[in-house]
A and B are shown apart, each in its own frame.
Chain A
Amino acid sequence: MNKVSQTGILLAALLLLPFAPLLQAQELLPGLRVWGNFQMDAQYYQDDADIATDTVPEKILMNGFANINLAYENLTIGFRYESYQNPLLGFDSRYKGSGIPYRFASYTQDNLEVTLGNFYEQYGNGLVMRSYVEPNLGIDNAMDGIKLLYRPAKGVTLRTLIGEQRLFFDKGPGIVRGADAEIYLNEAFEALSGSQNQLTLGVSGVSKYQRDRDPTYHLPENVAAFAGRMNFARQGFNLNAEYARKANDPSADNNFIYRHGEALTVSSSYSFSGFGLLLSAKRIDNMGFRSNRAATGNDLHINYLPAMTRQHLYSLTGMYPYATQPTGEVGALAELTFRLPRQTLLGGPMGTTVIVNFSIANAIDKQPLSNETIFRQTGREPQENDPRINVPGTDGYTSGFFSIGDEKYFQDFNIEISRRFSRNFRGSFTYMNLFYNQNQIEGYDNKEDVKAHIVVTDMTYRLPNRRSVRWELQHLSTRQDNGDWAMAMVEYSIAPHWFFSASNQYNYGNDDKDQRLHYYTFHAGYNKNANRFSLGWGRQRQGIVCVGGVCRVVPASTGFTLSVTSSF
């Protein structure tokens, strides 16, 4: 167990020990609140030569964690215990072991909130600062230090932080400092309090420090990023925009170029009864920002760059998820939602909801540097076939803010129609047209762009005695990658406690006949109040799990799974 875990356990014990008697005698301390949650996922792995599963010498792998929090008057303390014995396949092996990597104490006094220890934070949309936890991805870049939040006046919020980031059961080498100021004008200025126009302005500054030990580069030890944002709302209309700029930050993310980074996100929505329109656009240019310039993968991100694509929940529509490209991308999303009224020809007896969604992501245009610039910045004369873009130790490239590159990364057009046919019967139909640049998104070198048509039907029928049955039929049609897929799932529920499901994905269109395999799974689960148990068996195909543009590879596996969640 490393020093962080040992310190965490000791601190948690010291903080909680005085309250130990009180946990069982809350009536002695009225107002004491205790709450928490628990999650455990375990899998027994079986060898399956058909899908070339990894050999798991332990046979059983497990990820688990529990959060426990106490609050009394203006004081809150808590911790999270995590255990990976060993981590499930697809999770970073550096999660191995157990410990208390998250512990904190915070209090509030006269509009000042002080947090000591671990904390999460986000400034605006996260373009310069977002630390968060996503257990399904194995992401946790929690800060360990001090966070202050102060409200000096109505509508004004000031936040600052300083600390190091979590890296598995240890900490990254960099120190992160940040501050954010936000003013909600309608609260801050009495003259605007009754206005229908609601306006919020914010500005953030974040910097990191990491010692320069590199012998070949003059590396900046302090790198700062600034952002300004606004949010305007009036009745059903909302407009949100944020611009961020980062100073020179040569790192493994950008091949050690000294170009500044910048990002712009704009999102607007308009809705009224039965109608909603969402329009978003973004530009990202060299905005990877980590507290260790050598970090890769999902390690030590300081900021968060949104994906701006629809997150699909069905297995085939979610087979090719988009991952944000921090080195540069331009994206847009448009979503139209409308409700066809009930008792009409198109709306049917109980109404129909239609969602039309379109998103696209493209490269930004990058122009090469001149030989003179490269020589001036590196001291080396470039050779004939040497690249003139992203040369280490240079500014990298030039790029006009409104210039879009030629390479398309991702495009998704989908339409979803949901309808309640009767009191007991409802369903939805989804069509998706997909373009997916597999080389760019997944880091391959020889894959074709995937062009696919996907259809999904999802039906639920309510039976007597609180039973219901749900079934899905899905189909993916493509000539690239692994070819066509068909999927069927049926789920039987006995409310409020039981559910049973069986599903099968069949890769019948694979060019390799030996890979035309079935991926079948069977699940049973039991819910009682806040406890949920789920037991499954089956075969899982290799895939990618993404949340908000951040992804994790899931290797193929066969075996039993057990999931337990609980909260109190």
Chain B
Amino acid sequence: MKLLKTLFYIFLILAVPVVFSACDDMDEPYLVQTAPPVDPDPDDPDNGNDTIVRKYLLEKFTGHRCVGCPAGDETAKILKDFYDDRLVVVSIHAGFFSMPLGEPYTMDFRTPEGNELNSHFGISSNPNGLISRREYEGSLILPPASWGSAIVDMEDIPAEFSLSLEVEEKSPGSYSLTAFINALKPMTENFRLVVLLTESGIVSPQSISGNPNYPEGVIMDYTHNNVLRKGITNIWGAELNKGALAPSILLEKDYDFSLEPDWVAENCHIVAFIMREEGNENGYPLEIMQVESIPLAE
């Protein structure tokens, strides 16, 4: 009886921890290989709801002296490859790790617009981001590990606006932009339109850690993409409507802007988004309802 009791206790000691553990052992490949269905006709300016999808905006707060930011950039790239045109990325250089600090970090990618966003949302570390300014699991400011899940959380939300853009070069370095906006259902809230300019392909040093290819901790020829260069509108946008907005009304907004001499037009994109003015039972304050991006020069 004593032996049986001893054997039972040994079994209990070994079995109880196993019973209370559960594990998923993953098989290769670890990355999802198939992208989600893409809008069959993204160039169709059709206002029909069944061809217009809600696009997502990733506002990525970063800095060239942030050692973890290359990993954040990699996450954004993976998501961009996955979602293609449905995801628009803006890299906002602001805060401590974006400050120029002597060689080799002499470039200053900060902008007044980016600084204001950084301050308003209380960004205290990099990399961090916002997905269409919607909360995910109770947080508005999301680490890179949450960006993909936050987008999935939005996938079933239908588009409520269509947004298209046309840009024309008036003279070298000077452009005019027209944004076409149409509500896809009757709206009673106020919305605002924000238009930004980004530039990609900027080669400049970037801090990195944990990569033996760069034992000094800096990538001298790092390519910075989607860098916020300026606001074509105020960063809090231009008023789109005051009160009711019917689906039959096509809104047009025109803007003129110019490039700085050292910006490369072929690498620039216009990013425009429609933003909810105030939070309510329908959604979050400053929530981005629709976003669109086009290259500045084809």
User: Which residues of chain A have a CB within 8 Å of any CB of chain B?
Assistant: 93, 152-153, 156, 158, 160, 162, 170, 173, 177-183, 188, 203-207, 209, 213-226, 247-248, 250-252, 255-256, 258, 292-296, 327, 368, 376-380, 385, 387, 389-390, 392-394, 439-440, 443-446
A445-B142 in contact given A205-B21, A216-B82 (Cβ < 8 Å): no
B16 to A179, Cβ gap below 8 A? yes
Interface flags for B166-199 (1: CB within 8 Å of A; 0: not) read: 0000000000000000000000000000000000
Most buried by A among B17, B22, B144: B17
Q: Which residues of A contact B218 (CB under 8 A)?
A: 445
A439 to B217, Cβ gap below 8 A? yes
Interface flags for B123-145 (1: CB within 8 Å of A; 0: not) read: 01100000000000110001111
Residue among B12, B68, B149 making CB contact with A214, cutoff 8 Å: B149
Interface flags for B1-28 (1: CB within 8 Å of A; 0: not) read: 0000100010011101111111111111
Q: Which residues of B contact A368 (CB under 8 A)?
A: 212
Most buried by A among B14, B16, B20, B143: B20
26 example contacts (A-B, Cβ-Cβ < 8 A) are as follows: A153-B5, A162-B20, A178-B21, A179-B16, A181-B16, A203-B13, A203-B14, A213-B148, A214-B152, A215-B36, A215-B148, A215-B149, A216-B32, A217-B148, A220-B25, A222-B22, A250-B30, A377-B30, A378-B31, A380-B31, A387-B213, A390-B211, A393-B29, A439-B67, A443-B209, A445-B207
Residue among A170, A218, A387 making CB contact with B32, cutoff 8 Å: A218
B21 to A158, Cβ gap below 8 A? no
User: Which residues of chain B have a CB within 8 Å of any CB of chain A?
Assistant: 5, 9, 12-14, 16-33, 36, 65-68, 71, 74-75, 78-79, 82-83, 101, 122, 124-125, 137-138, 142-146, 148-149, 151-153, 207-213, 217-218
CB distance from B85 to the nearest CB of A (A): 15
A293 to B212, Cβ gap below 8 A? no
Instruction: Report the Cα distance A48→B31, complex, angstroms.
Output: 51
A180-B17 in contact given A220-B25, A294-B143, A377-B30 (Cβ < 8 Å): yes
Residue among A177, A183, A294, A379 making CB contact with B145, cutoff 8 Å: A294
Instruction: Report the Cα distance A257→B210, complex, angstroms.
Output: 14
A-B CB contacts (within 8 Å), total count: 182
Instruction: Report the Cα distance A153→B29, complex, angstroms.
Output: 48
Instruction: Report the Cα distance A405→B218, complex, angstroms.
Output: 20
A376-B148 in contact given A152-B12, A173-B137, A179-B16 (Cβ < 8 Å): no
B9 to A177, Cβ gap below 8 A? no
A258 to B26, Cβ gap below 8 A? yes
Q: Which residues of A contact B36 (CB under 8 A)?
A: 215
B78: nearest chain-A partner, CB-CB: A216
CB distance from A410 to the nearest CB of B (A): 16
Q: Which residues of A contact B149 (CB under 8 A)?
A: 213-215, 294
